[in-house]
Structure 1
Amino acid sequence: MSEIDSTATVYQVVLNDEEQYSIWRTDREIPSGWFAEGTTGAKQECLDHISRVWTDMRPKSLRLRMEAAAQSN
């Protein structure tokens, strides 16, 4: 038996201020700078959710700078 039974481990989707996504085990404290997005479940369920909602991989600060530059042209 493995140390971590992946079928029993519950994950949550976490998000940072740059709107970047990751997953984190629910039995562990979320690292500083990240917060729970609200989705929990099996690892693959969380990864599938991220694939659906994280459609622009650019950090938020970069997107805002690019939008500002485009508007000033």
Structure 2
Amino acid sequence: MSAMTKKAQNFKKSKTGLWMSIGTTAFGAISVAKQAKLARQDNDTLRLVDAAVSAAAIVTGLAILYRELKRLGDEDVLLG
């Protein structure tokens, strides 16, 4: 296995990979906001509950990714 392949496999464990994951997770919040807005307009309680649960999942996911980013510290796999 080449060094480049090993670096590519460890991308998710790098700072860059974590920032990318944070960005894509946060981007999902736009969809949840639209879903909540439509649910409020239609007075659809079930869709509103679904949007709330999805928002909670996004917040939890962002918190986990932030914790991993803090744990990683200065040990960036791609720079090493």
Per the normalisation by structure 1, the TM-score is 0.29
**Greater gyration radius:** 2
Q: RCO (CA 8 Å, sep 6+): is it higher in 1 or 2?
A: 2
